[in-house]
Structure 1
Amino acid sequence: MKIYNNLAEFKRLDHAVVTIGTYDGVHFGHRKIISRLCDLAKSNGGESVILTFFPHPRLIIDPENQDLKMINTIEEKAEMLEKLGVDHLIITPFTRDFSNLSPDEYIREILVDTIGLKNLIVGYDHRFGKNRSGGMKELLESASKLGFEVEQIDEQDINDVAVSSTKIRESLLNGNVALAATYLGYPFSLYGPVIKGDKIGRTIGFPTANIFIEQAYKLIPSDGIYAVTISMENQNYRGMAYIGQRPTINGMTRNIEVNIFDFDREIYGQYIKMNFMEFLRHDVKFTGLEALKIQLQKDKEDTISYFEKIDNSI
């Protein structure tokens, strides 16, 4: 897959099969669109193109609201799209000028003249152009005039709930990582380097690796304890993760830590990926380190039981 950091880098194609969107999460519904995109490109002798945006359009259109966090980093999204077989990924900086393009300018100047649009695939709720004033009506009108075809993919449901990035974010912020994984089609993950902590965990028999998330826009799930899997150096491990401010020791900053089972190596500076499998409990303040130690032992037993159930169901 070829990646372009702006439209100016892209060389117009003879037959571009295009879809457009932020595709945050690359979830179940997104993959339905992307699968159709790649199949249509192959059958028509064209090339598949995804036009996505960074930063998220909502952060530009509504600059006063900077609370929106992303399910995927731009690197994670690109990696998943490549695995799905996409030929070209254009990461367009979303600006005020871009947001002020009329629907007609957007279609003619960006999609047709710059990309070489011949087939456009959009989701059921796709809106575009200034004030999101463009929709299927405008696309169909332009298609007949400018010589391209439009196809709309229906809303995707799981258990009668429409899949959306917003619902996935809400699930994660509520700690419901299992529901988020159902919507996504894969476990939500955090990725980052291991940094030095204050080593309190090892004094009570539960050493942890402290993870630093480098992208400030990456969503962090609700505070609490989670059953997780860990990937590093092409090896997979199991463990329990903690997110919170460590109220038992009057912590002042929000930490992300993981106790990796059956593991005792120093891994400072090592990048690890942590997959969130199950929420175990909320963060609480204990009377002291001994009470915390007792609870952590129970948390470990609950985590082991969770994975045993998974193993037995396979």
Structure 2
Amino acid sequence: MNTYTSIYRYHSAQKTVVTLGTFDGVHKGHQKIIERLVQSAEQCSCESLVLTFFPHPRMVLQDQNEIKLLSTIDERIQKLEALGIDHVVVHPFDQEFSRLTAEEFVEKVLVQHFNIQKIIIGHDHRFGRNRTANIDDLKVFGEKFGFEVEEISAQEINTVSVSSTKIRTALHEGNIETANAYLGYPYTLNGIVITGKGLGKTLRFPTANLKLDADYKLIPQNGVYIVQCLLDGQMLHGMMNIGINPTVDGTQQSIEVHFLDFNASLYHKNLTLQILHRIRDEIKFDSVSELQKQLELDQQTTLAFFENQP
């Protein structure tokens, strides 16, 4: 797959089948669109092209908007590549780009740069300055500039009944099973292991403290979760705490993971944690010894979870 950091870096004489959107999380609904895109491109001997944007348009157009995303831009690209796309164009979304009229966007981007043969788009997609154009306008442009418009109907989208907003809501509520079901894969947190306070070692539950790669990545609701992580070809199982460690009067949110039956140093390692299940809320215990007893129960729960996996 070829990746381009701007619309203007893409040039090809080959006809393309295009779809566009933010594709945050590349969830099941997105996957359905991409699958159709790849099939359609093969049928007409064209190349498949996804146009996506970074930063997220809401980060640029809405004041004080602190939207957290399901995927970093690197994660988004990796997911799209795994679905068999020929080209992904990640265009910097800014105020200037947002002011393109719908017709300017179609003519300058889709026609002139992408050499479009066909576009596949959701029935409710809106585009152009102030998002004033819709699917009907796009069909008019298709007739004018000579490309086909394939509409994904509301009924087709509703059979999947998935949206990035629903997934974000599920994660904010700690409902990891629902989020994973909508995504079609386990939600992940990726980052580098940094030095912590060392409390876990004193409790016989040493933890790796994770510093996320991107500050815009959505962190699920505070609590204790069951996770797994592929490291150097070995699948590690563990339990992760997201929270402030209230039992020891913590104030800053941290992400700490304890891996079962694993003793090697993880400092400065890059980890990708797959979140599988939420065990409980983060609790302030009356003593550190009570916290330790609860960690032992959490460990038993984690062991039982993996023993029961098919």
TM-score normalised per structure 1:
0.96
Q: Separation in 2 of the partners of 1:306 and 1:124? A: 41
Q: Matched residue of 2:308: which SS? A: helix
Instruction: Report the Cα offset of residue 161 of structure 1.
Output: 7.2
Matches within 5 A, 1:1-20: 1-20=1-20
Give the match for residue 295 of structure 1. Answer: 294
Q: Matched residue of 1:70: which SS? A: coil
Give the match for residue 147 of structure 1. Answer: 146
Matches within 5 A, 1:299-314: 299-310=298-309, 314=310
Q: Separation in 1 of the partners of 2:176 and 2:298? A: 17
1:257-299 residue CA offsets vs partner (Å, 9 max, x unmatched): 0010010011101111100101111111111210100111111
Give the match for residue 221 of structure 2. Answer: 222
Instruction: Report the Cα offset of residue 217 of structure 1.
Output: 0.8
Amino acid at match of 1:174: E
Q: Separation in 2 of the partners of 1:276 and 1:102? A: 41
Amino acid at match of 1:3: T
Instruction: Report the Cα offset of residue 63 of structure 1.
Output: 2.7
Instruction: Report the Cα offset of residue 154 of structure 1.
Output: 3.1
Matches within 5 A, 1:250-269: 250-269=249-268
Cα 1:245–1:18 change in 2 (3 A) is same
Instruction: Report the Cα offset of residue 69 of structure 1.
Output: 0.6
Amino acid at match of 1:178: E
Amino acid at match of 1:269: H
Amino acid at match of 2:133: G
Residues 22 and 56 in structure 2, CA contact (< 8 A), matched pair in contact too: yes
Residues 28 and 160 in structure 2, CA contact (< 8 A), matched pair in contact too: no
Q: Matched residue of 2:212: which SS? A: coil
Give the match for residue 173 of structure 1. Answer: 172
Q: Matched residue of 1:295: which SS? A: helix
Q: Separation in 1 of the partners of 2:11 and 2:151? A: 26
Q: Separation in 1 of the partners of 2:294 and 2:131? A: 51
Matches within 5 A, 1:190-269: 190-269=189-268
Amino acid at match of 2:96: D
Q: Separation in 2 of the partners of 1:238 and 1:124? A: 42
Q: Separation in 1 of the partners of 2:31 and 2:60? A: 26
Amino acid at match of 2:90: I
Give the match for residue 34 of structure 2. Answer: 34
1:127-158 residue CA offsets vs partner (Å, 9 max, x unmatched): 11111111111011011110000111234568
Q: Structure 1: any 5+ residue segments left out of the alignment?
A: none
Give the match for residue 58 of structure 2. Answer: 58
Q: Separation in 2 of the partners of 1:192 and 1:231? A: 13
Q: Separation in 2 of the partners of 1:81 and 1:200? A: 40
Instruction: Report the Cα offset of residue 101 of structure 1.
Output: 1.2
Give the match for residue 112 of structure 1. Answer: 111
2:273 aligned with 1:274? yes
Residues 12 and 113 in structure 1, CA contact (< 8 A), matched pair in contact too: no
Q: % of aligned pairs identical?
A: 41
Q: Matched residue of 1:101: which SS? A: coil
Q: Structure 2: any 5+ residue segments left out of the alignment?
A: none
Instruction: Report the Cα offset of residue 126 of structure 1.
Output: 1.0
User: How many residues are paired up?
Assistant: 309
Amino acid at match of 1:240: M
Q: Matched residue of 1:212: which SS? A: strand
Give the match for residue 129 of structure 1. Answer: 128
Q: Matched residue of 1:263: which SS? A: coil
Give the match for residue 49 of structure 1. Answer: 49
Give the match for residue 283 of structure 1. Answer: 282
Q: Separation in 2 of the partners of 1:120 and 1:157? A: 17
Cα 1:13–1:234 change in 2 (3 A) is farther
Q: Separation in 1 of the partners of 2:79 and 2:213? A: 19
Instruction: Report the Cα offset of residue 306 of structure 1.
Output: 1.9
